[in-house]
Structure 1
Amino acid sequence: MKHLILLAISISLLPAARAQQTQKPPLHGKHWMAVTGKPLAATAGSMIFQKGGNAVDAACAMLAATCTMWDVLSWGGETQALIYNPKTGKVIAINALGVAPTGATPAFFKGKGYNFPPEYGPLAAVTPGTPGGLCYMLAEYGTMSLKEVLAPAMEMAEGYPIEAQTANSMERSKDRLKEWPYSKAVFLTHPGEKREAPEAGEIFVQKDLLATLTKMVEAEQEALHNKKSRKEAIMAAYDRFYKGDIAQEFVRGCQEQGGLITKEDLANWKPIEEEPLHVNYKGIEVYKLQQWTQGPMLLQSLNILENFDLKAMGYNSTKYIHTLYQTMNLAFADRDFYYGDPYFSPKSPINGLLSKTYAKERAKLINPDHNDPNPTPGDPYPFEGKKNPFLSLLKQHNALTDTAAEKKQDRFVPKHDAAGILQSTPDANMYAANDVDSAYMDRLWRGTTSVEAADADGWVVSITPSGGWTPACIAGHTGVGMSQRLQSFVLDSAVCPFNVIAPGKRPRVTLTPSMALKNGKPYLSFAVQGGDTQDQNLLQFFLNMVEFGMTVQQATEAANINSNQLWLSLGGSSMNDRKPRPGSVLLNSNTPEKVRTELKNMGYIPTFSERTSGPVNAIYLDREHGSLWGGSSNHGEDYGIGW
């Protein structure tokens, strides 16, 4: 409590000073910075930096380590990245999200009684993206071999002391894990005992995963022996995973357990290097991935917020919270209907959505005195000089939400998701009705992870990987947990015509790394875990620094708000599970009584938690002093190392 009081006092003084006390100290470095979701994984990044690797090398090592540690993701999940290349002065995007497999159609899932694809098991899986994404990034932008970069992860697969968070997650999930023989064999190391999962500190061994990683390295080393280039050798490892014996065992294990993924699905999948989307906010260029993620929601929000004097409102004042909440809801309404895989038809009207003129029109919809309980998607097509072909579907979409009926319902919380608990819920007491109270404190710290790296040569990397979280269904003897990302698709066009499931298509994901440039140079690299709360927290982190003068560490710890007035992207088997909760807002427990009362009078239904700000990981590039600042939230096991 003492720390919370000190934090509250320090924040109230902003921007008077830049050295206020925080619960975690800021990280400082001159040569490099490595920040991610687990201390051991940050150490893996530091090991690569110490051996002379660049930020891409280190980021790949941290990614491999977090997957091996099951930091609520695994090797069968997906990877999304932004990379600043100092040689070209450009930000590039990596799309390493898997696709829906052969046979994954609306008719297939509806025939099994689903309203959305399932949350767990082999039928929830898209094709693995992380191995391919890692290999591509390393081959194109790294400097080291796959053998060098995977060395920390492989040592961990031989056996590492597991932490309580992951071990307890395995124990809680043991009944489901027993449904899948390969998962049971890996995760439940003490079968038949009262506690069947590993204990905290126990050496957790993954022989099958080690064998898979060894096969990839062997393929690389054989290619090097045959005089192939470094890039060609790394891609030989890629081919062994997606086209060779690893792929064969993955598919066999998937299909044996009822999954749909075929050899052709793996062989045909490839990571994509893309142009990121960006907007200018008061002279700062902010970059996000394309609309196959929710990332443009943050860009739309910045465009809308430019029409208000946020600094004059004051940090977390009633007016600021209201303006922020209304803005995010308008952007989420557009996300919920218009975002989807840009490589499939129909094409999202992203240019209209990111138009400054469109943002001004959306800003006019904000009532300064009351919450709008039913913000609807706008019509961005005229801002591209086109006519909206989905007006009839838009009416159906708007009719799906009965705000009067939904107002009093508890918010559904996806059981696996970080944020889920961290940002989207008030306190443990509300969980009694949802039968998850016993899991609350452990789940409070869980999510996927994020990876941030930067070096003195100017390389900067931001990654938000995920998928294959516990309870994960492992594919045969590969040791690789399959993704659960298929659940982010919809089965009906009225929910979102751009995100209807189809074989070969990528679902719209919540995963959303971020980068900002100032005066043409990297300024911030930042990311966070946590489902639909990700861009809510990243938006506020960014504003905390740009508008309110916080340091990077203060901004990661500062109290945020979260809106539940949006369609959930994860979890739940019915429409009611995912519908928006009008007026539902999560506030920090230290919110003054005056602000609480004013918000209630404006139509809000507030809940409260001490933890609302993260876990955000970030790197600030201090051009004035020629140094790196690392920030890592005080709300999880996220950790960084700098030098």
Structure 2
Amino acid sequence: MKWTKLLPFTFLLVAIWAQTHAQSFNNLPVVTQKPPLHGKHWMAITGKPLAATAGAMIFTKGGNAVDAACGMLAATCTMWDVLSWGGETQALIYNPKTKKVIAINALGVAPTGATADFFKNKGMKYPPEYGPLAAVTPGTPGGLMTILAEYGTMSLKEVLAPAMQLAEGYPIEAQTANSIEGKKDLIKQWPYSKKVFLPHLGAKREAPDAGEIFVQKDLLETLKKLVNAEQQALAKGKSRKEAIYAANDLFYRGEIAKEIARGCQEQGGLITEQDLANWKVKIEEPMMTTYKGIEVYKLQQWTQGPAMLQTLNILENFDLKSMGYNSTRYVHTLYQAMNLAFADRDFYYGDPAFGPEEPMKGLLSKEYAKERSKLINPNMNDPKIGPGDPYPFEGKANPYLDLLKNWGSASLTAPKNNATLDEKFQESFTAGTTSVEAADAEGWVVSMTPSGGWVPACIAGNTGIGMSQRMQSFVLDPKENPFNVVEPGKRPRVTLTPSLALKNGKPFLSFAKQAGDEQDQLLLQFFLNMVEFDMTVQESCEAPSFKTFQMYSTFGNHERINGGLTLNEAMPSWTRKDLGRMGYKINYQERTSGPINAIYFDWEHGSFWGGSSNHGEDYGIGW
């Protein structure tokens, strides 16, 4: 056996040893494939090495964590790190001045004409995965400019400078270049995408080669227009904030909006100029629960984030540490708890701006979690786990008892009871998204999970902006989820889920990850690795995790596999056998930890610890 195959098992043994040697563990040599990051002044971590460098550039010019996060966001979008400028941005920000966590909702909305009947009349069970009809309105540009204007210190010109240099031309990395080549048949359907992505049209390899300078002239012009609008406003005596919002107006109500709408409609999409003009970023209150005194924050129910909070509430009823890290009992208990929370996600979560009102008070109550925890069979997987009834826990009657009774039978795609965890099915669970983590000595903390507009993206006209594919996260039948049926102006319930945790009133962890429906599964395990098993942040990022496929995918055909479970290859044979006897359908991966990016706040020593998983291109820099 190759020594690299033994490494994950080594990490497992180290984690178990750490459980009984917690007091002295942090003073011992750290056995990880990537070293932890350390910083005193700032920390910048994201999905691409060049984008992390962009964050460092902003910091070294005097920017705060918000400025740096916006710089990294712009860079990752320009580099197509499984997202682009036409996607969506979700963020949690800790403001040291108010000592509060702020939630940023920069998710686009369904455009005019996007109704359930529209898609049904085209013979679709769900909105499409790709193309102009998959697009909600762009959210990332407005999200970036709002975050920067409200909480940053720099100009848009300064923050976009690294991204503009990238748009002029940067050496494209193999992962993105090969993704373009693999999806080129789809890309060729859209003329503006073909122009940008396939510089060698007609050759055997039509995408750029790894290391080739990838140039995006149209995107560069769009970014220049935004900066020019800001600079013109400043020249007229406008404040920094007003000037940034002038650029925002150009994007959503000016010539850029006109070209996005025109280019979208030319290729068969629905987005109108009025859709863009009506859209606004929302600054919201986050959701929060406590786990053993630690405050854990997530975005609202238009994301899957509250499902992790629900799971933590359920798990508080068990002694996880005594079970042992990744033991049979531990894996089984977490799997069942996650399934209970994700079943609620699949039925109750949706855009709170639209009726009916989601029962979030009940869903996040400790009493509801205690009742749900009683449903866990300690000996077998329960393939029939479904949504509960949280309404009594907020003093109301459930208006959807009839739908609840028949949920998961007729309307949803039938669970794959005898299916294998094939590559295409797993890809539908783990596609898309990156993460951005930033912190500074002043106390600002930013956690982002931007996404949307990934390759193969349909580019909107001559803007260079790839449109989102987020429409597929809606359902068309209220029997599946009465809160998430598509209609114009509505945000879909998405998987995107940044995380912040406070301990003793101060930042404790900032953490996020890419990869669809598995995000809150692995973020939950990362959090428990640190809180229950005393791992360092880098160990927790690399530690072997497991994944459940017993919730409905938010993508594609919205399928699930009852008992579907991915384990790390290092899992010992006796645990594999035990879980197999408990009704699980198991496959294995060499690395299962992420990619997770995280910052731990070491208040004892006045420093930051940065962590980034040991696979993928995620990278960080600290100072």
TM over 0.5: yes
2:560 maps to 580
1:484 maps to 469
Give 1:110's match in structure 2, choosing from 103, 108, 120. 120
Mark the CA change 1:497 to 1:412 in structure 2 (over 3 Å): closer, same or farther.
Answer: farther
Percent identical pairs in the alignment equals 70
Q: Does 1:558 align with 2:543?
A: yes
- Give the unaligned 5+ runs of structure 2: none
Mark the CA change 1:531 to 1:308 in structure 2 (over 3 Å): closer, same or farther.
Answer: same
Q: Does 1:614 align with 2:594?
A: yes
Give 1:627's match in structure 2, choosing from 607, 610, 621. 607
2:498 maps to 513
Structure-2 separation of matches of 1:531 and 1:251? 28
Q: Does 1:390 align with 2:406?
A: no
Alignment of 1:209-228 (within 5 A): 209-228=219-238
Q: Does 1:470 align with 2:455?
A: yes
2:188 maps to 178
Give 2:552's match in structure 1, choosing from 567, 573, 591. 567
Amino acid at match of 1:199: D
Give 2:486's match in structure 1, choosing from 475, 496, 501. 501
Aligned-residue offset at 1:321 = 0.5
DSSP 3-state at the match of 1:286 = strand
2:571 maps to 591
Give 1:455's match in structure 2, choosing from 433, 440, 446. 440
Amino acid at match of 2:502: L
Structure-1 separation of matches of 2:415 and 2:541? 36
Aligned-residue offset at 1:11 = 2.3
Q: Is the 8 A contact 1:278 1:286 kept in 2?
A: yes
Structure-1 separation of matches of 2:398 and 2:213? 57
TM-score (norm 2): 0.97
Q: Is the 8 A contact 1:23 1:634 kept in 2?
A: yes
Mark the CA change 1:5 to 1:396 in structure 2 (over 3 Å): closer, same or farther.
Answer: closer
Amino acid at match of 2:448: I
Structure-2 separation of matches of 1:310 and 1:416? 28
Mark the CA change 1:284 to 1:510 in structure 2 (over 3 Å): closer, same or farther.
Answer: same
Q: Is the 8 A contact 1:586 1:607 kept in 2?
A: yes
Aligned-residue offset at 1:571 = 1.5
Q: Is the 8 A contact 2:411 2:480 kept in 1?
A: no
Aligned-residue offset at 1:611 = 1.3
RMSD of aligned alpha carbons: 1.4
- Cα deviations across residues 371-390 of structure 1 (Å, max 9, x unaligned)? 10110100000000000000
1:64 maps to 74
DSSP 3-state at the match of 2:38 = strand
Mark the CA change 1:29 to 1:13 in structure 2 (over 3 Å): closer, same or farther.
Answer: same
Structure-2 separation of matches of 1:209 and 1:187? 12
Q: Does 1:161 align with 2:171?
A: yes
Which stretch of the first structure deviates more once superposed, 76-85 or 2-11?
A: 2-11
Aligned-residue offset at 1:480 = 0.1
Amino acid at match of 1:586: T
2:57 maps to 47
Structure-2 separation of matches of 1:549 and 1:121? 45
Mark the CA change 1:361 to 1:99 in structure 2 (over 3 Å): closer, same or farther.
Answer: same
- Cα deviations across residues 261-312 of structure 1 (Å, max 9, x unaligned)? 0000000000000000000100100000000000000000000000000000
Aligned-residue offset at 1:87 = 0.3
Q: Does 1:251 align with 2:261?
A: yes
Structure-2 separation of matches of 1:529 and 1:398? 27
- Cα deviations across residues 187-219 of structure 1 (Å, max 9, x unaligned)? 001111100000000000000000000000000
Alignment of 1:15-30 (within 5 A): 15=19, 16=21, 17-18=25-26, 19-30=29-40
DSSP 3-state at the match of 2:386 = coil
Give 2:146's match in structure 1, choosing from 136, 147, 152. 136
Q: Is the 8 A contact 2:91 2:449 kept in 1?
A: yes
Aligned-residue offset at 1:580 = 2.4
Give 1:315's match in structure 2, choosing from 289, 302, 325. 325
DSSP 3-state at the match of 2:491 = coil
Structure-1 separation of matches of 2:228 and 2:150? 20
Amino acid at match of 1:563: T
Structure-1 separation of matches of 2:383 and 2:13? 33
DSSP 3-state at the match of 2:508 = strand
Amino acid at match of 1:600: G
Mark the CA change 1:499 to 1:414 in structure 2 (over 3 Å): closer, same or farther.
Answer: farther
2:87 maps to 77
1:535 maps to 520
- Cα deviations across residues 4-49 of structure 1 (Å, max 9, x unaligned)? 3542332232232234310000000000000000000000000000
Amino acid at match of 1:159: G
DSSP 3-state at the match of 2:599 = strand
2:510 maps to 525
Aligned-residue offset at 1:448 = 1.8
Structure-2 separation of matches of 1:5 and 1:317? 13
Q: Does 1:605 align with 2:600?
A: no
- Cα deviations across residues 300-350 of structure 1 (Å, max 9, x unaligned)? 000000000000000000000000000000000100000000000011100
Q: Is the 8 A contact 1:452 1:617 kept in 2?
A: yes
Aligned-residue offset at 1:405 = 6.9
Structure-2 separation of matches of 1:402 and 1:504? 24
Q: Is the 8 A contact 1:288 1:296 kept in 2?
A: yes
Structure-2 separation of matches of 1:507 and 1:620? 31
Q: How many residues align?
A: 613
Q: Does 1:339 align with 2:349?
A: yes
Structure-2 separation of matches of 1:135 and 1:50? 21
